Amino acid sequence: MAEEHAALTLSRRQFFSDCGLSLGGIALAALMERDGLAAAAARAGPLAVKPPHFQPKAKAVIQLFMAGGPSQLELFDLKPKLRELSGQPIPASYTEGKRFAFIKPDAKLLGTKRQFARHGESGAELSELLPHTAAIADQIAIIRTMKTDVFNHGPAKLMLATGSPQFGRPSMGSWVLYGLGSETQDLPGFVVLKSGPRGPRSGAALWGNAFLSSVYQGVPLRNSGDPILDLATPIGVSAAEQRRTLDAIGKINRRRFEETGDDEIAARIASYEMAYRMQHSAPELIDLASETPHTLALYGAKPGEASFANNCLLARRLVERGVRFVTLFHTDWDHHGGSENLEGALEQICRETDQPAAALVMDLKRRGMLDETLVIWGGEFGRTPMGEDRGSLGRDHHIEAYTAWLAGGGVKPGQTIGQTDELGFSAADPQEQVHVHDLQATILHLLGLDHLRLTYRFQGRDFRLTDVAGEVVKRLVG
Amino acid sequence: MPVSGQQAARVGGGHRARLPRFVSRAAAPLILALIVSAQRATADGPVDYRRDVQPILAAHCYKCHGPDEQKSGLRLDAVSTAREGGYSGPAIVPGASKESLLVKAISGSDEDVKAMPPEGPRLSSEQIATLVRWIDAGAKAPADDRPAAGTRRKSDHWSFQPVARSPAPTVQRADRVRNPIDAFILARLERERIEPSPEADRATLVRRLFLDLVGLPPSIAQVDEFLADKRADAYEQLVERLLASPHYGERWGRHWLDLARYADSNGYTNDNPRSIWKYRDWVIDALNRDLPFDQFTIQQIAGDMLPEASLDQIVATGFHRNTMINEEGGTDPEEFRVEAVVDRVGTTGAVFLGLTLACARCHDHKFDPISQRDFYGMFALLNGADEPTVPVPTPEQSGQQAELAEGVKSAEADLRRYDQETAERRAQWEQQLVAGIAAVEWTVLDPLEATCASGAATLKNLGDRSLLAEGDRKIDEIYTVTAVAPLSRVTAVRLEVLTDDSLPRHGPGLEDNGNFVLAELTLETPAVGDAKGQTAAWQWSTATDAKGNFPVEHLIDGNSGTGWSLNVTAKRPGTDRNAILALRDGLATEGRTLVFRLKARNVRNNYLPGRFRLSLTSAEGEALRVGGPVRDAIAVPADKRTANERDLVLAEFDKVDPGRRELAGKMAAIKSDLNKLTQSIPTTLAMRERDKPRETHLLIRGEYLRDGPVVPPDVPSVLPPLSTSGEQPTRLDLARWLVAPANPLVARVTMNRFWQQYFGRGLVETSNDFGTQGTPPTHPELLDWLAGEFVARGLSMKAMHRLIVTSATYRQQSRACPELAAVDPDNRLLARQSRLRVEAEAVRDVTLATSGLLSPKVGGPSVFPPQPDGVMALTRSVREWKTSTGEDRYRRGMYTYHWRSTPHPFLKVFDAPEGSTTCTRRDRANTPLQALTLLNDEACIEAARALAVRVLAESPRADAAGRVRHAFRLCLAREPSDYERACLTELLADELADAKVARDDAMTKTIQPPMKLPESADPRQYAAWTSVARALLNLDEFMTRE
């Protein structure tokens, strides 16, 4: 690279003399410094590492997006009173002015049949469905008073992913890359992983860049075929041929750069080189066979399988390699009753997710990575204290109070934040409510970014991830 | 500001905001005190508005809530407007000062209400008491109560001022002026002492013009034609040819579709497909015929409302139907209709006014003179439409439709006449048929043996030859009943399902609700001696009762996945039912054993018949041939039949009456043709104004559930007034107003976007924001000159393209000398052209065109070019992507089917907009994913292979250098430099050398049709040339407009 740089600078000088114009008072050295290829690429390279607003705690984020809305009442928030009143209509005082997706406001309350116990020194109260999470109870901070604004899946997912229920806003990962740049030259800085029976609703908008540059968009790593679209050299093209072709492209592009002085060409040359490196680094990344049997067993991961366990392990490998933001989507937590119920279906999805999520936290910790890696577990909303009967039991979408947990990245562990009222409907104390925007403000804060200052001017207005709201949750920040 | 209702709710304090706002315990004592003092003041006599009240309001409130300004939408200079109130609701509640917002504000007593006035002296307690007394006495208004004539809002901001056309300035270098555009640009450059760049070479110019005007590269022949054209106006001639090309409409149509947020799906969670490509084609066609911009606009905003609107004009209204639709379960459709109208307001603002109107959805615009009331005035203008799906036949199809409809009419008349003439004969036939059906004799089967396949249950003969199931039952149970045939011939079987006290709800099924699901009933006669075994072939079935999706026909459809079930909710359980199954040809059963099998279809354990009995008949003739619903229909007296029953009986009669059969057949054929034709006609989404417009309320803080005051339709008051010929302004009035000469914005905004396409940046960089937060124009006089010229040239878009691309400014070279780069790094002063990476669709188009694969077809349904597997898997509803074959595999990028939640990755990676909101300016990112796409994507490899074949086919006798030159010119129009030629020749040589060693795979690089390798070609050459072609198609210059 140094050699290449020197050669370029040389031809750059040649270009100046060819230009036929006097350089006047402009210092040649300064121009060369400014206009060298590397500098040009960096200038046109919006992914360069940028300093945070203040000293960060976390360098990377792994978001475990539990798509569909997990039932906090079966998993995290035990409500004896709800059990007691199970089968009775919910008092109207709770539901006045509230909207629900499917059930009527006079639906009947449903107490959980799941057993809860306290775990760890912190005494976090967790359901029998989460035995592995119970083992990391002292590593996580549980928020039982999460709140969001919208009660349909698509808009609510966008709310959590982008801070707005509308299409057209950048996703959290994009904002973070925009704010901090990428630490890796070999992989995308924002990666999306998916498991479960179907894709998340709203699709690509959940990891979209919207009005930010598309260099900030999330790149889905795929479970089958090429891990990244068009990653593999085409069939019939040898590695040597690929390299020779790239060299020819690079040489001609470089000459054009010298002739036109257009930084975009320098950026294109850099893009092609990074693409070439990705061709090698991405297959190595997804090859889980290099992990020890012990690690594989910890996650319950099986090389070659499309699973949440594999994705959790991949997330660690991504962060290890300098990836800034990883979002894992796991579907489908939408337990309304019927085939998606609070019985077998919930047990099944807990089996799929409980162990890998806990393993991720443990694995990060034993590798000394947890301090700088923020792990977030949660869905777009929770589920109602009222039951829904679709042949078998479930619950409707609930936005007033639900549960999420965080670990690592500067989060103060071993605490449970917020209490819900005796039916688990809302935060008992409105002061303890943690809105999605508050969570987002906190995530940015842990990364050393002030959510009020991370803005982008578009359509006449400075946009933020947290829209016009959001307060850092002080208790979360250790 | 585009903040949704729910968000705003939170900003306002969550659900608390939905409660009445002015209930504050803290305020009560103070208000009480005020009321006491007011009562004391009553002794002074009644309060007079003019004498006592108005002077107080005028002194303290009018500055912000008077004729000149209405902060928060509130106006206090008339009692009527005070009662109507502002965004927070009425200011005055007559007779109830306690509830009146005005009193809370001036007394400063309520923590939720900002104390008023915010500046200057507070009201004295006497003044407050006077207002309280006046309100409690009913807030009586004087007879002549009306607000002072509303002065419209004024603004000094440049973009709201009328377009001022100044003459082109005089410049020193007049030789560099090709048209007035250059004078404006040069004048500024001369002021800054910057030399403009020389004109680009002709090869660059021809490629530049092609890419900019039609979005395609020139062929070598087209380049040569231009290079050889020595006429003085060769360039202008080329411009004319390109503006006349049908591809011009595609190129500039795609730019417009960005604004229109065009997509082929509904967006949100479900992202269902939609058909609106006719609108896309309308845009292409309108541009090609150079529809003047005013007509272009009016038809898209309100084409449906034009007098005697043509279908074409209705199709144009698809512009505002490109909004998204949320079909997720549990959504409130009206809520998302409102979202769509909000989007229409925002899009109208951005596209035609260059204003960020959406900022005023929840509150007055923070920076621009746009109030929240202005926003809802625009909202009201766009709120009056229904949203129909409209068929769009071609004129030929319309003609055929009319012809066929006429044919149906006359065939119906023929039939009617025939039916009248043959009424008597038909009645006789019916009578005979009914009698025949009644006369059928049934012989009840006497079972020899009855078993359950599971062995878990038994079938007990109850003596009346019916069988009762007892014991455990298993899923997929089969009952087998064996008997000696009581008849020598069987033509039909009757299955009675019977009630019994032992059954749940008396049966006849075993399930708790008394029901069952029976999948199949079969009848066999096993082989005996010489007689072969036979299986009954069923012809029809009929039943006394069946549940919706479980018709009796399922019993004989040979599919054990479907079944017959009873409607036990509509008809009481515990009643007997029966089904009759007729055989196709009858079965000879003399002395034979009959084996019946009743196969259950158990979704759950007990959906089995509980008690049943089988009977047989040997009756022949029509009475048995007539099946299913016809039997029920004919049993109904002729004058009581429904239309459906009448048709069933008539159709049956057709079978025995050749005369009617012929006529009915004729009619059915025409109807079927008509139906097929109708099905084949594409539809599109359009607007249709309602007879009675919806009432529009201002939504407090933009929240969907918080209606504020009613807002009449109007345009922002800072802009010229809206006129109407009707009772109140309509969408059509808005459309005309947008393009009226008085509107200072529309021509500026439109010309600015044109400029942006040609130079990479608008004269106003924020092309969607001409408000106070936007960037000011770099060349304000030029922008106004262009806007004026646009109007003077009849709003002809082609005329303005012609003007811009023939300017010397446009024709400059794009190379940035360091000196220039130092003084004007972003090229705002335009001392040169700019290098611009072409848009996503154009990257595809240029690649396909260069390789010779591109289909030149214009318009039609969207297509499905190849994309990597698994792209569609990341969404909620996995959509099929059935790759197009033939010509449609190679269509221009703009025709690629656009799923909003899974845009085609090739287009997405090169920054094609998602189509969720209007896009006035695309990003031009430069990413490794783009490199991976161009290097490795199937479509790009296919193009490289095709280009290799093309080069070999088109230069069969040339040497390597000659072929390199040919390939280079195909890709970049210009001649290669020695260096470039050397790089590519070296690559070719390396590949050929490599091919000598191991090139068995050369032919495995299968050539996709329609490319054919010439027979004489050496496969090694082909393999090596594929590499060279790949290199060329990946050059930065290849995807750049120089």
Please give the backbone phi and psi of residue A225, each rounded to the nearest 5 degrees, phi first.
70, -155
How high is the pLDDT of residue B111?
74
Chain B neighbors of A264, CB-CB under 8 A: 835, 837, 924, 926, 1036, 1040
Chain B neighbors of A214, CB-CB under 8 A: 908-909, 911, 923, 925, 927
How high is the pLDDT of residue B44?
60
Cβ atoms < 10 Å from Cβ of B160: 21
Residue B20 pLDDT greater than 70, yes or no: no
CB contact under 8 A, B902 and A198: no
- The answer to whether the beta carbons of residues A330 and A352 sit under 8 Å apart is yes
Residues 6 or more apart in contact with residue A391 via CB below 8 angstroms: A337, A338
Q: Which tens digit of pLDDT belongs to each residue from B81-122?
A: 888 887 777 888 888 888 888 988 888 877 778 888 888 788
Place of tokens 């303290």: B60
**Residue A441 to residue B841: CA distance in whole angstroms:** 38
**Residue B382 to residue B390: CA distance in whole angstroms:** 19
Average pLDDT over residues B1026-1031: 94
Among B54-68, B344-358, B796-810, name the one with the lowest average pLDDT.
Answer: B54-68
How high is the pLDDT of residue A40?
52
> Rounded to whole angstroms, what are the CA distances from B261 to A154, A394, B321, B373, B600?
19, 38, 9, 26, 53
Residue B840 pLDDT greater than 80, yes or no: yes
Q: Is residue A318 part of a domain?
A: yes
Residue B572 pLDDT greater than 70, yes or no: no
Please give the backbone phi and psi of residue A61, each rounded to the nearest 5 degrees, phi first.
-130, 135
Q: How confident is the model at residue A32 (pLDDT cuts 50, 70, 90)?
A: very low
Q: Is residue A253 part of a domain?
A: no
Domain residue limits, chain B: 5-136, 395-422+657-681, 441-618, 938-1041
Q: What's at B632, amino acid-wise?
A: D
What total of structural domains would you count in chain A? 1
How high is the pLDDT of residue B784?
97
How high is the pLDDT of residue B978?
96
- The answer to whether the beta carbons of residues A303 and A288 sit under 8 Å apart is yes
pTM: 0.76
Nearest CA-CA distance, residue B501 and chain A, Å: 28
Q: Which tokens sit at B839?
A: 């848009």
Chain B neighbors of A24, CB-CB under 8 A: 819
Average pLDDT over residues B942-968: 92
Chain B neighbors of A253, CB-CB under 8 A: 1035-1037
> Rounded to whole angstroms, what are the CA distances from A466 to A171, A395, A411, A434?
11, 29, 20, 13
Select the highest-mean-pLDDT range: A163-167, A359-363, B324-328.
A359-363
CB contact under 8 A, B815 and A259: yes
Q: Which tens digit of pLDDT belongs to each residue from B262-299?
A: 999 998 878 899 999 999 999 999 999 999 999 999 99
Average pLDDT over residues B892-916: 91
Q: Which tens digit of pLDDT belongs to each residue from A239-250?
A: 888 999 999 999
B154 conformational bin, left if phi > 0, alpha if psi -120 to 50, beta if neither: beta
Residues 6 or more apart in contact with residue B180 via CB below 8 angstroms: B168, B785, B789
**At the top level of CATH, which class does the domain B441-618 belong to?**
mainly beta
CB contact under 8 A, B835 and A231: no
Q: For residue B105, give the nearest of B16, B19, B24 by alpha carbon.
A: B24
From the number of C-beta atoms within 10 Å of its C-beta (0-12, 13-18, 19+), residue A294 rates as exposed
CB contact under 8 A, B983 and A22: no
Q: Which tokens sit at B790?
A: 């646009």
How high is the pLDDT of residue A7?
37
Any CB–CB contact under 8 A between A32 and chain B? no
Q: How confident is the model at residue B996 (pLDDT cuts 50, 70, 90)?
A: low
Any CB–CB contact under 8 A between A252 and chain B? yes
* pLDDT greater at residue B364 or residue B14: B364
Q: Is residue A291 part of a domain?
A: no
Nearest CA-CA distance, residue B910 and chain A, Å: 8
* pLDDT greater at residue B56 or residue A131: A131
Place of tokens 């004391």: B40
Select the highest-mean-pLDDT range: B796-805, B951-960, B989-998.
B796-805
> Rounded to whole angstroms, what are the CA distances from A12 to A17, A34, A96, B779, B819?
9, 11, 72, 33, 13
Q: Which tens digit of pLDDT belongs to each residue from A409-466?
A: 999 999 999 999 999 999 999 999 999 999 999 999 999 999 999 999 876 678 999 9
Q: Which tens digit of pLDDT belongs to each residue from B482-495?
A: 999 999 999 999 99
**Residue A45 to residue B927: CA distance in whole angstroms:** 9
How high is the pLDDT of residue A119?
96
Chain B neighbors of A26, CB-CB under 8 A: 818-819, 822
E strands, B537-608, are: 538-543, 564-565, 577-588, 593-600
Chain A neighbors of B1, CB-CB under 8 A: 461, 468
> Rounded to whole angstroms, what are the CA distances from B583 to A305, B493, B592, B944?
53, 8, 17, 64
Q: Is residue A26 part of a domain?
A: no
Q: How confident is the model at residue B4 (pLDDT cuts 50, 70, 90)?
A: very low
The percent of residues in chain B predicted with pLDDT above 70, rounded, is 91
What is the residue-averaged pLDDT of chain B?
87
- The answer to whether the beta carbons of residues A378 and A444 sit under 8 Å apart is no
How high is the pLDDT of residue B358?
84
How high is the pLDDT of residue B206?
98
CB contact under 8 A, A167 and B1005: no
Q: Which tokens sit at B928?
A: 């490794």
Chain B neighbors of A167, CB-CB under 8 A: 267-268, 324, 900, 914, 916-917
**Residue B625 to residue B620: CA distance in whole angstroms:** 8
ipTM score here? 0.75
Any CB–CB contact under 8 A between A26 and chain B? yes
Chain B neighbors of A255, CB-CB under 8 A: 977, 979-980
Domain assignment of residue A323, given as a range: 58-223+306-476
From the number of C-beta atoms within 10 Å of its C-beta (0-12, 13-18, 19+), residue B231 rates as exposed
State the angle between helix axes of B643-656 and B658-680 in degrees (0 to 180), rounded to the nearest 10.
Answer: 130
Average pLDDT over residues A145-150: 95
> Rounded to whole angstroms, what are the CA distances from B918 to B71, B343, B744?
30, 9, 21
Place of tokens 């978001």: A63
CB contact under 8 A, B928 and A278: yes
Using CB atoms, pick whichever of A101, A204, A233 lies closest to residue B936.
A233
The percent of residues in chain A predicted with pLDDT above 90, rounded, is 60
CB contact under 8 A, B874 and A204: yes
Select the highest-mean-pLDDT range: A10-19, B156-165, B629-638, B1028-1037.
B1028-1037
Report residue A69 CA to chain centroid gap.
16
Residue B1007 pLDDT greater than 70, yes or no: no
Q: Is residue A27 part of a domain?
A: no
Using CB atoms, pick whichever of B874, B924, B931 lies closest to residue A271.
B931
Residue B178 pLDDT greater than 60, yes or no: yes
Residue B8 pLDDT greater than 80, yes or no: no
* pLDDT greater at residue B301 or residue B48: B301
Q: For residue B451, give the nearest of B467, B464, B465, B475 by alpha carbon.
A: B467
* pLDDT greater at residue B805 or residue B877: B805
* pLDDT greater at residue A198 or residue B794: B794
Nearest chain B alpha carbon to A159: B7
**Residue A377 to residue B586: CA distance in whole angstroms:** 69
Average pLDDT over residues B970-987: 96
Which of B812, B926, B984 should one mutate to test binding to chain A, selecting the residue with the greatest count of A CBs within 10 A? B926
Residue B38 pLDDT greater than 80, yes or no: no
Nearest CA-CA distance, residue A235 and chain B, Å: 8
Residues 6 or more apart in contact with residue B616 via CB below 8 angstroms: B442, B443, B445, B485, B486, B487, B490, B492, B493, B494, B594
Q: Which tokens sit at B131?
A: 């207002």
- The answer to whether the beta carbons of residues B816 and A260 sit under 8 Å apart is yes
Q: Which tens digit of pLDDT belongs to each residue from B503-547?
A: 888 888 888 788 899 999 999 999 988 888 999 999 888 887 888
Any CB–CB contact under 8 A between A241 and chain B? yes
> Rounded to whole angstroms, what are the CA distances from B392 to B276, B291, B302?
10, 20, 17
Residue B245 pLDDT greater than 60, yes or no: yes
- What CATH number is attached to the domain comprising A149? 3.40.720.10
Q: Which tokens sit at B53?
A: 């009240």
How high is the pLDDT of residue B41?
43
CB contact under 8 A, B914 and A275: no
Q: For residue B329, give the nearest of A331, A194, A336 by alpha carbon.
A: A336
